[in-house]
Amino acid sequence: MKVGERIELTFENLALGGEAVARTADGMVVFVRGGVPGDRGLVEITKRKRQFATGKIIELLEPSALRISPRCEYFGRCGGCKWQYLAYPDQLRFKHQQVIETLGHLGKLQDVPVKEMIGMDAPWYYRNKMEFTFGWDEQEGLILGQHFPERWDLLVDLHTCYLQSETSVAIFALCREFARKHGLSVFSSATEAGLLRLMVVREGKHTGDLMVNLVTSGENFPELDRFVRYLTTAYPYLTGIILTVNRRKGQSSQGQEELLLFGKPVITETLNGLSYEISAKSFFQTNTIQAERLYQTVQRMAGEHPQGVAVDLYCGTGAIALHLAPQFQTVYGVELVAEAVLNAQQNAARNNLTNVSFHCGEVQKVLPDLFQTVPDVMVIDPPRAGLSKKVVREILTTAPRQIIYVSCNPATLARDVAMFTEGGFEILEVQPIDMFPHTYHIETVVNLMK
């Protein structure tokens, strides 16, 4: 089998990362993006390795009984949600199976008690933050939308989106209209010329707060005041309008300067009765409803320890630490990013929680001197890359009685949990949670006891 060869295949399963899995007559595994288990298709081989190959569907010969029509007209061109061709219950079923298989294959952890996915009752319009990119179409007309799948040089001009609120979509449309009407330029990474880069809309799903963040390559342009009036006339209840200036070549909503153009520099949101302030730069879970269920799961697993100590590693802006505060005598949060630590401290003060303290630095450096007693519970919510062996060793040396591991990457989760089991911990429960319906992403919480 060579690159460029075409072969008929029937897809058997979905792999971690969303690709369909098929096998050739001689047993070679082929991964194909866009396939559904049960599909039979003509596949062109695009990459050939010793143990597997990747391909793309040239023609769908026989669709699977599981395949449904995507709701969105941009499906396939927009690089956003990639699983709209599966009914939502089937999405949950495949994600659940992937957690089991990943723990087994990568972690060598068999017969693990994995609970059913916690899905959404209404898996549409759930995102509280969306980021659109400015660009040009083939006729050099200004567009605003999302990138094509796996392409950073092509954009699809989006006028509808079922992951964000209808208000967000309308605000994006208004910004596109304004930019076209006033002939504003678009930033090019190739030439490093042009003005408009990104638009970000953030919402408080429970509070109704609404922030618009315009990201440009420079702070001064003649139409800026008119832009503010344009938005506030249409949406006088906007909480704030921010201008973020990113002078670097790389396309990012994080800039070097931030200017308040209208209203407040933050929005507020509540999670399980706790109040948070969210700035343009703040990290905040993009699915408010499922974030509440995620933190409720952590609370339930942690239990009540009125005289106990809890530690929240990679605590970010302190969401988990604050949720644990009513259940423990003392809670410590550790986070590398100084700005996030400041936000966490502000969130604790905002909620009148005095038994939580936050500490800035690398986990392996901060942890040894953080407390004198053995912690009852240690919650770990690391980046996608998971934990280094040094950090795992430091955690095992600290010897908490219980570890609650929160992960957005089942592969690194399986690897790290396996190291904890080798270090004397037992898996009590695995709870997957669907934070991102219509995508292949999976959030998982694992409860381990010494």
Instruction: Look at residue 392 in the predicted model and tell me its pLDDT.
Output: 96
Predicted confidence (pLDDT) per residue in 332-391, tens digit:
999 998 888 999 999 999 999 999 999 999 999 999 989 888 999 999 999 999 999 999
Q: 311 and 368: one domain? A: yes
For residues 382 and 107, what is the distance between their CA atoms, to the nearest angstrom? 17
Rounded mean pLDDT of the chain? 94
On whether both 426 and 298 belong to a single domain, the answer is yes
Is residue 360 among the annotated active site residues? Answer: no
Do 245 and 178 have their domain in common? yes
Q: Would you state the pLDDT for residue 281?
A: 86
Give me the number of domains the chain comprises: 3
Question: Do 58 and 113 have their domain in common?
Answer: no
Is-contact 334 312, C-beta < 8 A? Answer: yes
d(CA 117, CA 290): 11
Residue where a domain terminates, one of 218, 244, 271: 271
Q: 322 and 262 in one domain?
A: no
408 domain residue, yes or no:
yes
Rounded-to-10 torsion of CA 261, 319, 440, 89: -110
Q: Is residue 78 a part of any domain in this protein?
A: no
Q: Are residues 137 and 241 in the same domain?
A: yes
- Predicted pLDDT of residue 251: 81
The residues that bridge with 53 in the sheet, in sequence order, are 30, 48
251 and 105, same structural domain?
Answer: no
Model confidence at 132, pLDDT cuts 50, 70, 90, reads: very high
Which pLDDT does position 219 carry in this prediction? 79
Please indicate, yes or no, whether residues 303 and 401 belong to a single structural domain of this protein. yes
| CATH number (domain holding residue 439) | 3.40.50.150
Q: Is the pLDDT of residue 150 over 80?
A: no
Do 403 and 312 belong together in one domain? yes
> At 79, is the pLDDT very low, low, confident or very high (cuts 50, 70, 90)?
confident
Which class for 397: exposed (0-12), middle (13-18), buried (19 or more C-beta within 10 A)? exposed
Give the pLDDT score at 239.
Answer: 98
- Tens digits of per-residue pLDDT, 55-64? 999 999 999 9
Distance of CA 210 to the CA centre of its chain: 20
Beta bridge partners of 213: 200, 242
Question: In 303-337, which ranges are continuous DSSP H helix?
Answer: 319-324
Q: Nearest 5 degrees, angle CA 17-CA 284-CA 233?
A: 115
> In this predicted structure, what is the pLDDT of residue 80?
85
pLDDT tens digits, one per residue of 420-436: 999 999 999 999 999 99
Residue 151 has pLDDT above 90, yes or no: no
Under DSSP, is residue 353 helix (H, G, I), strand (E, B) or coil? Answer: coil
What CA–CA distance (Å, rounded) separates 216 from 125? Answer: 27
Which residue segment(s) compose the domain that 187 sits in? 129-271
Same-domain status, 242 and 332: no
Position 135 pLDDT exceeds 80: yes
Q: How many angstroms separate the CA atoms of 14 and 111, rounded? A: 21
pLDDT above 70 as % of the chain: 100
Q: 87 lies in a domain?
A: no
CATH number of domain containing 29 = 2.40.50.140
Predicted confidence at residue 384, as pLDDT, reads: 92
Claim to verify: residue 259 and residue 291 sit in the same structural domain: no
pLDDT for residue 339: 87
- What's the average model confidence in pLDDT over 252-265? 89
Answer whether 81's CB lies under 8 Å from 439's CB: yes
Catalytic-labelled residue, pool 72, 78, 81, 408? 408
Residue 106 domain-assigned (yes or no): yes
Does residue 180 share a domain with residue 226? Answer: yes
| Cα 36 to Cα 8, 9, 150, 442, distances in angstroms | 14, 12, 19, 18
Confidence of residue 69 (pLDDT cuts 50, 70, 90): very high
Q: Which long-range contacts (CB under 8 A, 24 or more apart) does 38-42 make?
A: 38/10, 38/11, 38/63, 38/64, 38/65, 38/66, 38/67, 39/10, 39/11, 39/63, 39/64, 39/67, 40/8, 40/9, 40/10, 40/11, 41/8, 41/9, 41/11, 42/6, 42/7, 42/8
- CATH number of 161's domain: 2.40.50.1070
Q: What is the mean pLDDT of residues 105-126?
A: 95
Confidence tier at 252 by pLDDT (50, 70, 90): confident
pLDDT tens for each residue of 268-296? 999 999 999 999 988 899 999 999 999 99
User: Does 43 map to a domain?
Assistant: yes
Residue 220 pLDDT more than 90? no
- β-strand partners of 309: 330
